[in-house]
Amino acid sequence: MPKLIPAAERIVLARNLIQKAREFPIPAELGRNNLSYIAGVRDLLRQARDLVKFIPQTAGVSTEMKEDVKKIYEEIEGANRDILGRIDQVPR
């Protein structure tokens, strides 16, 4: 049976995954257009989203925690735009 992770720790882990996605190494060939790079970044962002997905529906969660989850979702969308939104701008 998997170990239960407290909500506060899930938020910290999600932020760490977002940071990992931002620092994901860009491959030398094809740069940001490399499909494995795109898949790696999206996988890290998906993992971050999955960690906090059910926190707002959990009983006993504070309003502050729910606001943190909203901020995490905004950070994920911002990271997605920042990292993958620039793909078209890379010279070929």
Q: What would the pLDDT profile of 33-72 be if each residue is shown by its tens digit?
A: 888 999 999 999 999 999 999 999 988 889 999 999 999 9
What's the domain range around 23?
Answer: 7-89
Question: pLDDT tens digit string along 67-86?
Answer: 999 999 999 999 999 988 85
> Could you tell me if residue 1 is inside a domain?
no
Q: How high is the pLDDT of residue 32?
A: 73
Count of all residues that appear for the chain in the document: 92
34 inside domain: yes
Position 14 in a domain: yes
Q: Is residue 2 part of a domain?
A: no
Residue 22 resides in a domain: yes
Element at 70 (helix H, strand E): helix 63-84
Res 4: pLDDT: 84
pTM of the predicted model as reported, rounded to 2 decimal places: 0.84
User: Which pLDDT value is given to residue 90?
Assistant: 46
Q: Is residue 56 part of a domain?
A: yes
**At 57, phi and psi to the nearest 5?**
-85, -5
Evaluate the CA torsion angle 22, 83, 40, 4 in order and state its sign. positive
- The verdict on residue 30 lying in a domain is yes
Closest CA to 69 of 83, 47, 54: 54
